[in-house]
Structures are given as C-alpha cells and as structure tokens.
Structure 1
Amino acid sequence: MVYYRDRIYKAVDSVDQNTIELQSYTEVQGSETLQNFISLWTAYKSDLAQIVSLSLENNKGRAFEISISKGLTIRDSIIKTLSYLIKKSEENMQSDKEENERKYYLTFLFFILSCFSKFIYRDCDFLLDH
C-alpha cells in the first residue's frame, strides 16, 4: 500500500509542477479556466489525501465512498476543464500558425515586389539615359 501511496503523491507533485508551468503559457482567457482548474485540483488533492489515509488505516469502504462520490464529481470537472484548456490551446496554436503563414506570405510578396521595382527602376534609368 505504501508503494501506491508514493506513486499517487509523485503523480500529484507532477501535476502541481505542470500547473505552475502552464500558468506561464496561458493567456488572459485561459488564465480564468486555469484558476478554475487549480481550485478544483486543490479540492481533489485534499480528498485524495483523505482517501490514501483511510486506505492505509484499512478503512477502504469509506475511502471508496469518497472516491466514487465527491472525488468522482471533482475528477469529472477537472477533466472537463483540462479538455477545454487543451481545445483552447489548439485553437490558439492554429490561429498563430495562420497568422505566421500570412506574415510570411506578405514578407515574401514584399521582397518580390522590391526586387521587381528595382529592375523597373533600373530599366527606366537605362531608357532615360539613352
């Protein structure tokens, strides 16, 4: 049982670390959703600690009860919130990609027009000199 407790706490630490990292990447709109996730996660962590504690005390019935009632509700909310964050991030990445492609195209077009105008200017100078 100690092995599983350690694995659970290692997973909890991993989520905490990734949440901190996510905060630096989220935009204003995603920040509100992330704060919602953090509050749900904090509530779930306390339930998880209680479930682990009850399991270690061989009170598995009570641990199971928490897990399938309050724990299940919070887990579902967390999954929904994370799914929304992922969807939003994918949409933002697609939008950024399209914006970068548009800027690349405009830069390329500007370069071509610059080269073209230089040739026209040079040809005009040549014609004016003769």
Structure 2
Amino acid sequence: MPSGPEIERFELEGANVLCIRTRGRNSVAASRANAPRLCARLEEEGRDGLILDYSDCALEHTVPQFASIAEIFAEAMPRHVTVAYVYSPANMMHALMMTKMLHKAGLKARAFPGWDEAESWIRAELA
C-alpha cells in the first residue's frame, strides 16, 4: 500500500456520479480539509451521486475522529446526492458510521464491501 494518500477521481461511465478512490494512508487532517471541498465540488458540478472507495485505504482516524469528518459530510453534502461507500474490513466501522450519519441528515447512503455492489446499487438508485 502506498504511503499516500493517492487519490483518483473519475466519473462513473454513463452516470452523473463522481467517484473518489483513495489508496494509502489517509490522515485526519487530510480528511478534514478534503470533506468540505468534495461537498462543494458535488454541488458545483451538479452531481447526482458519489462513490467513495476506501477499500485500499488505511484510515489513521479513530472512530470518534472519523465521526467529526462524517459530521462535515452530513452538514455540507447536497441533499439530492446519493452516496455509496466502499470499505475494507479494517475500516468497516468508519463506513457504517458515515452512512448512518448521512441517513440521519436525510441523505440516501449505503456501505458496501466491494466496488461492484456499490456501483450496481447507485446505478439502480439513480435510474
């Protein structure tokens, strides 16, 4: 795993979905800085969906620290955006917390153990 983070951004083919794939180590400081920028980008680009893929990412966040990042997303995420979160076994609790907080904020969000399931779900939700 690279010592990064290494961030890949791309659009899901045939859908108005921004995909963010993060690999390597991701710090709390990086997440705090990137979360509001990502939410603003989704609004500016008029995106319908977001896939966050952390399956190859080592989060340096404790679960309580990650809760503060999830709060940023819950407050700043455009309400029409559907969110799929791809996790690894090591960051499953982070993913579950994120999706729970997004649900509480009125957003449609779900966590998945693999990319294919996340992509299928978000395509079906946005169809």
Q: TM-score range by the shorter chain?
A: under 0.3
Query: TM-score, length-normalised on structure 1?
Result: 0.23
* More helix, by proportion: 1
Query: TM-score, length-normalised on structure 2?
Result: 0.23
* More strand, by proportion: 2
Instruction: Report which of the two structures shows the higher radius of gyration computed on alpha carbons.
Output: 1
